A and B are shown apart, each in its own frame.
Chain A
């Protein structure tokens, strides 16, 4: 099923005008889960521009640096998103789509995470916005935030590293690879 951004906006508008707070739509492989007024993680009015409901990205956000298939950067062309080597043992959270990177649910609010914060795999670490659609990016692992690689408000490319996390091995023994 091919969905355009316009279709998504239309669906969101229909849901927005409905009386339901939580909508789950499944058509074959296509699954959409929308919650109005945010959920536990986003109790405060979210989103830098308004408090529109957010479809939650389900893309796997984190991969082990050691096993990550980083896109080779061998081109001589100067690129804004020059990738620095990721130290061993750190987990990198990558942008699952191109968009604008936001560290906080809305301007002036506290960032989702700061360096040194302890986080769980389901904690939101940032937002990536494409055309007013805000995608929550999850940590994917339990650990400690070591580095934030992108400035708030910058455009990020698909697959660009955003945040480095030191994997908390004790908290997630089943996840050691």
Chain B
């Protein structure tokens, strides 16, 4: 057995760049990696580099990557002793965690109880409030449209209706006037029921000028928990993050310490183990921060934290899941310089970010010191139309934000892709924009200002 705890062979229950990333972490730890692939991913990079690839079902995710039974059967059938769920798919399904454990598989993530406590947003809000972690002013469960109307009359418009089981903007509505309440309530509730099987809604005050700042935590099963600072993910479109950076350009040492302390308190309270992220919304008008939600998995944007701390989060996840103690203590965590990540999607930004799957005829990612590309693409790869459109994450590091920004601009400029459309030109335009360079844009800047400037939009073509 290897020295890093109990895990000898790990099943990768995911696809794309994160599957590749997990397999690489396994290599580093001397852990064997088996990847479960759909019929559409038999030729994927993950399938090629893994010790073994197993076809778990046909192309649609509901028939393959989301099939808990098939994943667990495949993991057991190939002699794995652990499952890494990556992000998305089954990563935050408490039932999947339980199924793995019932079948003697270690789950690379927190307990089912912790997933459930944080997965229900209303419960997470209650826990945060009990612990004195600030939450966005709002309500508990709102049972009827009249109650939402009463809230609006008292506290004012606009406000947000959100789904308790929600995430990714689904089951969420901005309510701007009393006339909108009834329709918004019914549609948000119906959407939440359809998407999550739970129609419960609550209200949050609408923060007009917000930044999205999140704290990375990681905990082992020996009671150790550390935070690895923040990531700023304010450059978003329709609640999808596009660019992430660390440290945040808008918070100071004191605010960072208070946010981190709140995140650690929350994670500790629910007995959290493994990697997790506590998301906050920062009100730029008041500098107040509020707990938004906790993501109980590794996140897409984890590399920016790795770039400034030098800590391999995915390897650390596998180590602690195997029972090893954290390899880092809080007082040994150092933050060095600045890192930025651009999510490169196969999409046409100028056509409302329409997906652009197909054959990648040319693929030359940038390379060099302080440049990292996490990807599953290669020349001749066919991007299947069934899944997420993200094809690469370009991450750069610099001694400060200005150095990181100019390195990112150069890296984007030398990234050569042909055969499919990508969001590289979009990122170049964002990076060149003075608002972005100043680092004061809100979470709605891309939609409300950047994309509205038609001259820039034309330049994207």
Binding site for B on A (CB under 8 A): 2, 4-6, 71-72, 74-80, 97-100, 130-131, 133, 155, 157-160
Contact = CB atoms under 8 A, between A and B. Distances in A.
Given A2-B62, A75-B47, A76-B48, A158 B39 contact: yes
Contacts of A133: 69
Interface stretch (B72-80, B133-141, B166-174, B298-306): B72-80
A6 B95 contact: yes
Contact of B48 (A75, A80, A99): A75
A75 to B, nearest CB: 5
Interface of B: 38-39, 42-43, 47-58, 62, 64, 67-70, 72-74, 77-78, 95
Most buried by A among B38, B49, B54, B64: B54
B42 A98 contact: no
Contacts of B56: 98, 157-158
A10 B42 CA distance: 33
B41 to A, nearest CB: 11
B78 A130 contact: no
Given A2-B62, A71-B39, A131-B73, A157 B68 contact: no
Contacts of A158: 38-39, 55-58, 64, 70
A173 B43 CA distance: 38
A72 B43 contact: yes
Contacts of A160: 55
B72 A131 contact: yes
A152 B329 CA distance: 50
A76 B53 CA distance: 11
Given A75-B48, A158-B58, 10 more contacts: A2-B62, A71-B42, A78-B52, A98-B73, A130-B70, A133-B69, A155-B54, A157-B54, A157-B55, A158-B38
A23 to B, nearest CB: 21
B365 to A, nearest CB: 22
A97 B47 CA distance: 18
A99 B43 CA distance: 21
Nearest to B70: A98
A130 B69 contact: yes
Given A2-B62, A6-B95, A71-B39, A97 B52 contact: no
Contacts of B39: 71, 158-159
A73 B102 CA distance: 34
A71 B38 CA distance: 11
A5 B73 contact: no
A155 B74 CA distance: 7
19 contacts: A4-B68, A5-B67, A71-B39, A71-B55, A74-B43, A75-B43, A77-B47, A77-B50, A79-B53, A97-B57, A99-B70, A99-B73, A130-B67, A131-B68, A131-B69, A131-B73, A155-B77, A158-B58, A159-B39
A80 B64 CA distance: 19
Contacts of A75: 42-43, 47-48, 53
A100 B55 contact: no
Contact of A155 (B57, B62, B69, B78): B78
A98 B52 contact: no
A168 B80 CA distance: 42
Contacts of B77: 100, 155
Given A5-B68, A158-B64, A77 B73 contact: no
Nearest to B44: A75
Nearest to A95: B55
Contacts of B49: 77
Contacts of B68: 4-6, 131
A160 to B, nearest CB: 7
Contacts of B69: 5, 130-131, 133
A119 B235 CA distance: 62
Contacts of B54: 98, 155, 157
B73 A100 contact: yes
Most buried by A among B51, B55, B56: B55
Given A71-B42, A75-B48, A77-B48, A98 B72 contact: no
A10 to B, nearest CB: 12
Contacts of B42: 71-72, 75
A74 B44 CA distance: 11
Contacts of B74: 98, 155, 157
B23 to A, nearest CB: 11
Contacts of B58: 158
Contacts of A157: 54-56, 74
Most buried by B among A72, A79, A97, A159: A97
Contacts of A100: 73, 77
A158 B53 CA distance: 12
Nearest to A128: B73
Given A71-B42, A155-B73, A77 B53 contact: yes
Contacts of A6: 68, 95
A160 B39 CA distance: 11
Nearest to B103: A131
